[in-house]
Amino acid sequence: MKALEVKDLYKNYSRWRGKTTKAVDGVSFSVEEGEIVGFLGPNGAGKTTTIKCICGLIEPNSGDINIFGIDAVSDTRKAVENTSAVLEGNRNIYWRLTTRENLEFFAGLHGRSKKETKSEMDKLLERFDLKEKEDTSARKLSRGMQQKLALACALIRGTDLLLLDEPTLGLDVKTSKELRRFVMQLAVDKGKTILLSSHDMNVVEDVCERVIIINDGKVLADDKVRNLKRLFDVHLYDFILRGKPSLDEIEEYHEVIDVRYENNKTRLKVSLKDSGSFYRLIDHLRDSGMELEKVENLDTHLEEIFMNIVEEELGG
């Protein structure tokens, strides 16, 4: 069963003198039950607007949104029964309430009593390392803890669909990794359906099986991460050369990602589309009299795929 289905979603904002800004321009996608899908796009791509349309906080101009078969545009309240969201990181919680009071309040806001959620609450506190801080005001928690609490508050609502808008924004590496691990476990252990938007490619790549890439309000790609990697079969190589090559000629035929000179050695990171490009570069280096010390094939990351897709779109 489809947990979420978005079809031909449009959202324009009227500006002065009749001008309009297209925030979401015909977005369509669906998410199966128990799936974790990444929602990737640069600033202003339309991710947050789409997520807010899904949970009824923004009214779309047109389009259909179905949450577990319920029309979320016409019957928002019913659809929201099975939806929770973490919007904009550590906001979403009451800073004057303690950790436990926040959990109790948000459980209650979804009609779940303290008695009903007691053991679940304890597990969440343990899981997020918040047990020791359960009686501490949320404003006294670190940013990472506040974000963990915001996620816990969304979870305690007991909904099957979870919308996470930039959940790791502003977190240190350790906390971000913890949170990613936890999000993955949610889908595996609890069968939750998660739509996760993030700027951070590492987060999406780590957590999501499928990714929807959005830019200028349009979906540019919607596929499994591994398929996208195959589709954009870009190979990254790290060359270590003795001496200093002439970059102009290399850049004419190959995409140079990074160049560093150190101790009379050059570290050249290039993106090559196929094996032909690889041999051409080797020939070129040999003809230029460069001595090759080491070559390393690097893994393709979602970041490169993302850049390729967005650049292709911009290039028309």
- For another protein, which is the closer residue by CB, 91 or 286? 91
Q: How far is the CB of 247 from another protein (least distance, A)?
A: 46
By CB under 8 A, name the one of 6, 31, 80, 187 that touches another protein: 80
- The count of residues interacting with another protein (CB under 8 A) is 41
- The distance of closest approach from Cβ of residue 260 to another protein in the complex, given in angstroms and rounded to an integer, is 42
Listed as own residue / partner, the contacts of 226-231 with beta carbons closer than 8 Å and 24 or more positions apart are 228/302, 228/305, 228/309, 229/300, 229/302, 229/305
Report the chain's terminal Cα–Cα distance, integer Å: 36
Residue 135 CA, chain-centre distance (Å), reads 32
CA–CA separation, 83 and 79 (whole Å): 7
Closer CB to another protein, 168 or 271, in the complex: 168
- Does 113 participate in binding another protein (rule CB under 8 A)? yes
Query: Are 297 and 235 within 8 A, CB to CB?
Result: yes
Residue from 41, 45, 67, 83 that binds another protein (CB under 8 A)?
83
- Is 73 near another protein (CB under 8 A)? no
111 binds another protein (CB under 8 A): yes
Token representation of residue 240: 């270590």
* Beta strands in the chain, from DSSP E residues, in sequence order: 2-14, 20-32, 36-40, 62-67, 70-71, 83-86, 161-165, 193-198, 210-215, 218-224, 235-242, 255-262, 265-272, 291-298
SS3 240: strand
Give, as ranges, the residues between 127 and 146 that touch another protein (CB under 8 A): 137
Chain positions 38 to 57 lying near another protein, rule: CB under 8 A, are: 49, 52, 55-57
Per the DSSP assignment, residues forming a β-bridge with 65 are 6
Which distant-in-sequence residues (6+ apart) come within 8 Å of 188 by Cβ?
none
Nearer to another protein, 84 or 266 (CB): 84
Residue 216 interacts with another protein (CB under 8 A)? Answer: no
75 touches another protein by CB under 8 A: no
Q: Which candidate, 233, 258, 232, 204, places its Cα nearest to that of 310? A: 232
Q: Which is nearer to another protein, 192 or 254 (CB)?
A: 192
> Judged by CB under 8 A, does residue 192 bind another protein?
no
Q: How far is the CB of 53 from another protein (least distance, A)?
A: 9
104 binds another protein (CB under 8 A): yes
Contacting range for another protein; rule: CB under 8 A; set: 99-107, 119-127, 254-262, 299-307:
99-107
Binding site for another protein (CB under 8 A): 11, 13-14, 23, 49, 52, 55-59, 77-78, 80-81, 83-85, 87-88, 91-97, 101, 104-113, 137, 153, 157
